[in-house]
Each structure stands twice: as structure tokens, then as C-alpha cells.
Structure 1
Amino acid sequence: MTIEKFKSEFYQGTERIHLNNGGLAPISAPARERILYWGDRFYKEGFYTDLDYVENVFNSRKSLATLIGCDHSEVAFFQSTASAVSQFAFQYPLEEGDEVITWAEEYGSHLFPWLEACKRAKANLIEVKSGENLSTPYQLLVERITNKTKIIAVSWVQFLTGAKTDLEALGKITRAKNIFLFVDIIQGLGLHPFDMKKLGVDAVAGGSHKWLFSPVGVGYLAIDQKHIGKVKPHNVGSYTFGTCDDPTDSVCMPKLDALKFEAGSKQVLEITALGASVDLILKTGVSVIEKETLRLATKLRVGLEAKGYKVHSPYSVDNHQSAMVNFIPKDHTIEALKSLPCNFAIRGPGVRLTPAAFVSDLTIERVLKVL
């Protein structure tokens, strides 16, 4: 699928400008169609949809696993990224005195579960400050490793400026030292190529509403099969052990794959819509989407710097490797963006704009003109 065809799968109205896709992106046309499809069938058929929606959820799980680079049996769905991180952080067998290393600038949905998990286990959360311009060189993490380090838990792509942690280099070290590598990938999956197994990542978590162009309401957790047995389910229900139709048995055993973390009924509309958008991404190719996104972000950055704005980034203008363009606003900046209207985020040192691959050059030019 060409990038032009990809762009055509998004609403192209001009009354609003979407440049906060690193916050909440519009959903794709296939995702919208999937929601309408199941809404109509649930309205008309009720229980008679049972086997079909279960199959659609399964297919969505397989598509997401393909994008992550793992087996579908290693993927569990949740309500949010925070829920997925909490499942792992609260149930991983941390002990008193253990250390968990993370970046000091992590987003709350990733930071707070680890902070609470360490508090409960009397473990220590080691927060490592980012480098210059909020860069995230993995060596800063490695320098803090001790014989008490059990987990390194970081975001792959940081939410402030889009700085990426070199997971391949970090994964080689964590494997050699028998340290668990947990990664929040919400700001990268679907935008940058990713392969959990090749990178040596033990578990990942993320959500549906950014670079997967899907409705709010789906989190996911993928754990390498060799670790699933170490982690108990945080929430427990019929699906922990079997299906909703199985007889109750007080001595039943939990499932052996990641589905044991899904306690009950699934959010079918959201999960199947996610699957439809992931299929669109797979058909287009992540590298194709990445190339167009970085081209648009670079165009935005070059235009801003030409107008005298200071861009806060760990990347150089001729090698801008992030969808995020974080710049220091002027007196009129916020009002100008609102007048378009153009959505944006206030993050860290300034205003963060995040174009996605469906955005047009004309859109970038309109924003630069008012700024």
C-alpha cells in the first residue's frame, strides 16, 4: 500500500488540524468501519454474534503480535497502558532491596505503577536523569546497574521530545547480566520498526490511541513466554482459567499463556478497531509510515527554526529522528494555534507538535504561516 493510499484512509476535512498525534490521534477509516460493523451486529443479533466476535478479537491479537514481534499467545489486552504496566509491576516477584532502574522523565502511566510497586515490595526505584536536551543514551542506565538491579523499565520513545533509547544495545547488556528489560512502547509502536524478540526485550506495554490510530480504551502487555509463569494475574475471573461457559471449579489452574491476565469480557469494539488499524499499518509498512512522518516533522522543524523558534530536541535539524517537535513558544504562539484550530500539547520545556503520516504538506504550511 502506498503512502497516498494510507493517507486516504483518514478523514481529510480541513476544519481542524491534528498535530497532537503523540497524544490522541484520529482513528483510521478501517477502525471506524469495524466499530460500526460490530455496533450494528450487536444491535441486531446479540448473543448470535458470540463466535464471530471472539474470532475477530483473536485476529486482532495476532495482528498486534505481528507488529510487536512476538507470538499471539504472549499478548494480553487491558483497558489502558497504565493497567498493563500495573499488571506486570505489581505482580513481578520483587523483593526488599531489589532495584528497578528507569528514566526520571517517564510519563506518569509508566512511572507511577513502578513507584507504587517498589513501595509495596520495599524495593528501590532508581530514576536516571536524561542527558543533554533530554537525550536518552542507554549508557546512563548501564552506569547505574548494581548486583541488586532486577529490572530496567523504560519508555522506548520518550513523550517529551521523542528521544529513543537504544534497546538493541541495552538488551544485549540486560541479557548478559540476567536483568529483566521492560519497555513502554506506546510512543513508538506503529511509527518505528520494532521487533521484541530480536531486540532482547522481555516484556512490553502500550496503548491504542496514538500511533496505532485506534479508539481510546485498549492497553496491551506482551511477555516473552519464558517469563509468563513468573507473573501472577493481578485481576482474576473466569477467563483467567478458561471461558465464561466453563463450570466453576475451586481447584482449576490458570492458563499458561498471556491470556491468564485477561480476567473477563473484552472491549470488543475497541479491540477489533485496533486490529483493523494495525492491519492498515502492516499493509502500508512501518518503514513507509516512519519515513513520511519524519519528513513532515523535519519540514515543521525547519520552518519553525527559520521563523526564529528554538526547538528543544536531542536531534539535529538535518537528522531529525522524531515525530515530535518541541519548541519554545512566543507571546502569540498559543493563540495562533488555537485560532486555526490546531491541537497541541504543552510538554516539558515548550509546545509539542506531533504530525502523523496522514497529515498533508498543506497542513504543515498553514501552521507555519500563522506562527
Structure 2
Amino acid sequence: MCDEFQLDPGLCHLNHAAVAPWPRRALVAVTGFAEENVRQGSLGYPAWLAVEQRLRARLAWLIGAEQPSDIALVKNTSEALSVIAHGLHWTPGDSVVGIAQEFPSNRLVWESLADQGVTWRALDLDDSSDPEADLIALCDDSTRMIAVSWVQYASGLRLDLERLGAWCRAHDILLCVDAIQGLGALPFDLKRFQADFVVADGHKWMLGPEGLALLYVRPERRERLRLHQFGWHMVEEVGDFERTDWTPARDARRFECGSPNLLGAHALEASLSLLAEIGMDEVWRRVQARTDHLIALIDARGFELLTPRAPERRAGIISFRVPGESSSRLHQALLARRVLCAQRGGGIRFSPHFYTPLETLERAMRILDTILE
């Protein structure tokens, strides 16, 4: 195991698609922040803001944005999607195209536009062998946006964002990407994917805390979003508290109405520094090696693989079903034996990261063998 991770040796942590453990450097950063606050109060506030700026720079690097100022820091993916959905100016009859099997955050927010006359059209992945083509086929003259997750949370299906982005750009349709199940596991290329909006919370593959997420809005789209949250932090002349005339910030800070989550920023910045040191190409190579190994273990037992087998369709999620067995029962039995995983999409979801020892995968499957006996 990477020295940065100090998980209990009796635990098989295969749940990065839910909530990830922190690396040791995140613990050190948060502990130092807390001790400084206890001893010196906010004396070091300028240095805290410097950490926040480094975090924006790391997130910009992670998605391929041009400037750290292109990144807004919000509470979570749901808030980020709501800023987008309820910031755009809709016309009755508009439609948004998405996927039926999405996590609720990327479904409810589009359904909530119904009272504005907006229709959400959902592709059923169970009936699709070519999801990009079928998403495109659902679009017509009323379609304003395709809104999808890069990686589906249950099956682990990875969409071809380059294909979708090129089509959306050619047809003047917005592309909104929930990248939470991919960022931190494999490289993201904003220039190739041509997304207008990218959102992702930091507590999964980015190895950070809950309560802090990135929101990227393509610069030329920013002023098209109507603002619904207002406060001292989102104005252009931030810090000029006695000024009575104001305008929203020109950069992504316009979406941040109030005080920053500096505790979370210290943790997430530290976690991302680890990914930066290793490099996302190498992180992805190691994630692939672990998912390939896991698939081999699943195949050897004759279990049903629910995740696409093609490497270009996968990320870090591997879901499977044991024929004739209740996935709910197996999940509870695995948790009871300290195999941390999830029940999703009718199967068991394992999600190892780059540092997960191969022996952890093998031990988890041996434990499952014992349960089945």
C-alpha cells in the first residue's frame, strides 16, 4: 500500500466511488490548520487563502482549464448542477437529454425544470448498445443541453465525451458533465471534450473531504447564468465592504456567494498534490491494472460482470452479480466482514484506487467465497 494511506489492515476498502479515505498528507494539512487556528486564531488568514488559490490551480490542472480563476468552489455536485440548471434562461418547450440510470443528483435537477416547461428526456441504457448515438438521437430542435455523468455510478460505464462534445458544439447544444466518478481516477481533457459545464465533488476519486466541489463554466457562458445566490464574496470588488455599487465577479468567483470552506480546501489541496506528484496518466495505469485484475477474479468464479468489458468503456468502478444470490444479502455480509463496497444497479460495486494492493482485491473475493459457502 502507498505509504500515504494508513487504512486498518483488517479493512478491504473498495469504495472510492462512494467516500474515499484521505491520504496522510490531508490529515497533516487539516491538523496543522486546526492547531494554527487554536493557537493563533485567524492571524494566518492570508496564507489560508493562498492554499485556496493552490486548490483552484490544481483543479484547473485536473480538468485542463486555462486559468485557476475558471474554477468555482461550491459545496457539492448537487449545488453546482443547480447553479447551472436554474441559472440558464429556458423557454417553454425546451428539452434536456440525459440518462435514466443517473444518480439522483443528475436527474432531479433537470426534472425540477418542468414548471418552466422544460422536458427531461432520458435514455435507458439497458436498451442501448451505442449510448452516444442514442443520446444524440433523442435530441431535436427543442434540445438545449445534453447532461450526463462521465462515468455512470452503478455500472461504471464511461461515455465518449469527445464524441458527444464534438456533436454538441457542431449543433449549438450545451454539454454538462458530472465528472465525479472519473476525476482523480483518469485524465480529463477539457479541450478534447469541449464541455460547457463540468462539476465534481472532491470526496471520491480525488481523495478529499465531503462538502467541497468544483464548478467549471466555460468563460463565454458565465454571464448567461442568472445568479440566485448573493453575498460579499461574489462581487468584483471583493473586500471593499463599504462600496454600495457592485457587479458580480467576472471570473468563476461570481458563483461563490459567501465565506470559503478553508478547512476543506486544506484537505483537498493536499490530496490533489498527491495525484499531481504521481501524474494522472500513471494513476490511470494503476487503476486499470487493478480493475483488470478484479475482472479476472470475477470471471474465474463465473460471476456476471455488469460493468462494460471494453477498456475504453471503463473507469475505476467494477460491478458484478452472483447468479442466484441476493446482492443485498451479499453486500450486508461483505460489510459485516469489513469489505467496504456498495450495492448499486442490482449488483455489488467494487471501486479500488491506484494504491489499492492487489492482495486486497484477492482477499475480498476470498471473503465472498466464504460467504457463498
TM-score normalized with structure 2 length: 0.92
Note if contact 2:159-2:313 (Cα within 8 Å) is conserved in structure 1.
no
CA distance in 2, matches of 1:120, 1:220: 28
Answering whether residue 191 of structure 2 is matched by residue 197 of structure 1, we say yes
Answering whether residue 58 of structure 2 is matched by residue 63 of structure 1, we say yes
CA distance in 1, matches of 2:169, 2:13: 40
2:343 aligned residue: 346
**Across the two proteins, how many residue pairs are aligned to each other?**
363
For residue 163 of structure 2, the aligned residue among 156, 165, 169 is 169
Note if contact 1:136-1:163 (Cα within 8 Å) is conserved in structure 2.
no
2:357 aligned residue: 360
Note if contact 1:21-1:354 (Cα within 8 Å) is conserved in structure 2.
yes
After superposition, give the CA deviation of every residue in 1:17-64 in whole Å (9 maximum; x if it has no partner).
Answer: 111111111011121111111111111111212111111101111111
CA distance in 2, matches of 1:291, 1:38: 33
CA distance in 2, matches of 1:344, 1:303: 16
For structure 1, which runs of at least 5 residues remain unmatched after alignment?
none
Q: Note the C-alpha offset of 1:10.
A: 1.2
For residue 29 of structure 2, the aligned residue among 26, 31, 34 is 34
2:147 aligned residue: 153
What is the identity, as a one-letter code, of the residue corresponding to 2:198?
Answer: V
Note if contact 2:201-2:213 (Cα within 8 Å) is conserved in structure 1.
yes
Q: Return closer, same or farther for 1:350/1:16 CA change in 2, 3 Å cut-off.
A: same
1:325 aligned residue: 318
Q: Return closer, same or farther for 1:63/1:111 CA change in 2, 3 Å cut-off.
A: same
Q: Return closer, same or farther for 1:246/1:149 CA change in 2, 3 Å cut-off.
A: same
CA distance in 1, matches of 2:11, 2:220: 47
1:93 aligned residue: 89
Q: Which moved more, 1:176-185 or 1:333-342?
A: 333-342
2:371 aligned residue: none
Note if contact 1:102-1:126 (Cα within 8 Å) is conserved in structure 2.
yes
CA distance in 2, matches of 1:63, 1:325: 27
CA distance in 2, matches of 1:99, 1:264: 32
SS state of the match for residue 205, structure 1? strand
Q: Return closer, same or farther for 1:319/1:115 CA change in 2, 3 Å cut-off.
A: closer
CA distance in 2, matches of 1:335, 1:203: 37
Q: Note the C-alpha offset of 1:319.
A: 7.5
For residue 135 of structure 2, the aligned residue among 141, 151, 168 is 141
1:334 aligned residue: 331
Answering whether residue 294 of structure 2 is matched by residue 297 of structure 1, we say no
User: CA RMSD, aligned part only?
Assistant: 1.9
Note if contact 1:101-1:153 (Cα within 8 Å) is conserved in structure 2.
yes
After superposition, give the CA deviation of every residue in 1:151-207 in whole Å (9 maximum; x if it has no partner).
Answer: 111111100111111111111111111111110000001111111123211110010
CA distance in 1, matches of 2:298, 2:19: 23
Q: Which moved more, 1:295-304 or 1:175-184?
A: 295-304
SS state of the match for residue 229, structure 1? helix
Answering whether residue 77 of structure 2 is matched by residue 81 of structure 1, we say yes
SS state of the match for residue 10, structure 1? coil
SS state of the match for residue 16, structure 2? coil
After superposition, give the CA deviation of every residue in 1:264-320 in whole Å (9 maximum; x if it has no partner).
Answer: 11111112211111121111011211111121122122112212211212225x888
What is the identity, as a one-letter code, of the residue corresponding to 1:220?
Answer: L
For residue 276 of structure 1, the aligned residue among 270, 284, 291 is 270
Q: Return closer, same or farther for 1:19/1:274 CA change in 2, 3 Å cut-off.
A: same
For structure 2, which runs of at least 5 residues remain unmatched after alignment?
369-373
Q: Note the C-alpha offset of 1:15.
A: 2.2
Q: Which moved more, 1:244-253 or 1:353-362?
A: 244-253
After superposition, give the CA deviation of every residue in 1:207-236 in whole Å (9 maximum; x if it has no partner).
Answer: 011000011111210011111111122311
After superposition, give the CA deviation of every residue in 1:81-117 in whole Å (9 maximum; x if it has no partner).
Answer: 101111111111121111111111111112111211x
1:127 aligned residue: 122
What is the identity, as a one-letter code, of the residue corresponding to 1:59?
Answer: R
What is the identity, as a one-letter code, of the residue corresponding to 1:365?
Answer: E
1:312 aligned residue: 306
* Identity of matched residues, %: 28
What is the identity, as a one-letter code, of the residue corresponding to 2:320?
Answer: F
Note if contact 1:136-1:164 (Cα within 8 Å) is conserved in structure 2.
no
Q: Return closer, same or farther for 1:220/1:319 CA change in 2, 3 Å cut-off.
A: closer
Q: Which moved more, 1:235-244 or 1:11-20?
A: 235-244
Answering whether residue 15 of structure 2 is matched by residue 20 of structure 1, we say yes
1:222-241 to structure 2, matched below 5 A, reads 222-241=216-235
Q: Return closer, same or farther for 1:82/1:244 CA change in 2, 3 Å cut-off.
A: same
Q: Note the C-alpha offset of 1:322.
A: 3.1
